[in-house]
């Protein structure tokens, strides 16, 4: 595993060591958003203002990881965007720059200039072109990889896994002329093989969503989704309880793939139906 300059070993992290990392997708007023992926520009500005009011500064994952290794992460919050929608460049980047914040945008290297057409993704929104990705980087934002084509990585063939994870890194590095340090698992889901592939590809860190507590580490950093519903009150709750929420999500994921736990669940469901 690369370390991006040395410092503390973060291959494994305890729950108390997990930083607060926000996960966004799009920032735009949209007529139809069945998956709740977009926040409006006004709500996004409110959320950044709330962070600032709490004495927090939004930063890219590269800056956050470096600060963690140096023991200087206090007061920092990671801000991330998955998929690379054009509206992030149009609506999120200007507000981030205005606030003096940075963020990481995880890009699909094989879908530049196309639309979000992967499984169950409706409506389909435009993705950044190569030139727009470079523009985001020039604005001071970090560019990370989100694979080439947004597949589920858990359980896919080894050759496809390597192509999606390693290929995207090299393509984006060539595009931006900068090292690509970060990776985000599509759908936020990963397993040991996916984590190993990210480490073998030379990524410095990787972001997930649902991470079992035993898997927490630099290659499986959990994130909290921020949505249109998150006003100041909800943000305060998420800030106070994000580690508990991380543990609950991770435990649920772990149990969902445990045969014994699934057998118990099926028995309880059967008993409940009989009753």
| Domain edges within the chain | 15-274
| Chain centre to alpha carbon of residue 117 | 19
**Nearest-5° Cα angle at 81, 213 to 180:** 85
- Count CB neighbours of 53 within 10 A: 9
Q: What is the pLDDT of residue 2?
A: 40
**Pairing mode, if any, of strands 104-107 and 21-24?**
unpaired
Report which of 40, 39, 25 is spatially closest to residue 186, judged by C-alpha positions: 25
Q: What is the pLDDT of residue 1?
A: 38
Q: What is the pLDDT of residue 131?
A: 98
Phi, psi (rounded to 5 degrees) for 31: -75, -30
| pTM metric for this prediction | 0.88
Separation CA 118–CA 13 (nearest Å)? 32
User: Where does residue 32 rank: exposed (0-12), middle (13-18), buried (19+ CB within 10 A)?
Assistant: exposed
Fold of the domain built from segment(s) 15-274: TIM Barrel (3.20.20)
Residues of the chain with pLDDT under 70: 1-7, 249-275
Report which of 249, 239, 215, 216 is spatially closest to residue 17, judged by C-alpha positions: 216
Helix (H), strand (E) at residue 107: strand 104-107
Q: How many CA atoms lie within 13 A of 107 on its CB side?
A: 36
Q: How many CA atoms lie within 13 A of 159 on its CB side?
A: 0
Phi, psi (rounded to 5 degrees) for 27: -130, 100
The 3-state DSSP class for residue 30 equals coil
Phi, psi (rounded to 5 degrees) for 63: -65, -40
């Amino acid at each position: 595993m690369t370390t991006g300059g040395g410092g503390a070993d973060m291959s494994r992290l305890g729950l108390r060591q997990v930083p607060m990392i926000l996960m966004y997708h799009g920032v735009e007023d949209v007529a139809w958003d069945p998956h709740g992926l977009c926040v409006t520009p006004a709500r996004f500005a409110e959320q950044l203002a709330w962070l600032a009011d709490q004495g927090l500064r939004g930063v890219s994952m590269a800056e956050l990881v470096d600060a963690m290794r140096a023991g200087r992460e206090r007061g920092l919050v990671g801000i991330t965007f998955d998929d690379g929608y054009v509206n992030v460049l149009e609506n999120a980047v200007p507000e981030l720059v205005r606030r003096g914040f940075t963020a990481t945008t995880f890009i699909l290297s094989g879908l530049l200039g196309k639309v979000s057409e992967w499984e169950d993704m409706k409506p389909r929104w435009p993705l950044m072109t190569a030139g727009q990705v470079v523009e985001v980087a020039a604005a001071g934002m970090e560019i990370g990889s989100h694979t080439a084509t947004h597949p589920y990585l858990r359980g896919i063939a080894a050759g496809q896994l390597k192509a999606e994870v390693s290929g995207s890194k090299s393509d984006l590095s060539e595009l931006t002329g900068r090292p690509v340090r970060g990776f985000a698992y599509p759908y936020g889901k990963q397993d040991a093989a996916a984590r190993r592939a990210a480490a073998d590809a030379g990524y410095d860190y990787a972001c997930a969503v649902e991470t079992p507590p035993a898997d927490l580490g630099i290659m499986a950093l959990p994130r909290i989704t921020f949505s249109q519903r998150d006003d100041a009150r909800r943000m305060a709750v998420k800030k106070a309880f994000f580690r508990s929420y991380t543990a609950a999500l991770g435990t649920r994921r772990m149990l969902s793939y445990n045969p014994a736990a699934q057998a118990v669940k099926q028995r309880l469901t059967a008993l409940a139906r009989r009753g």
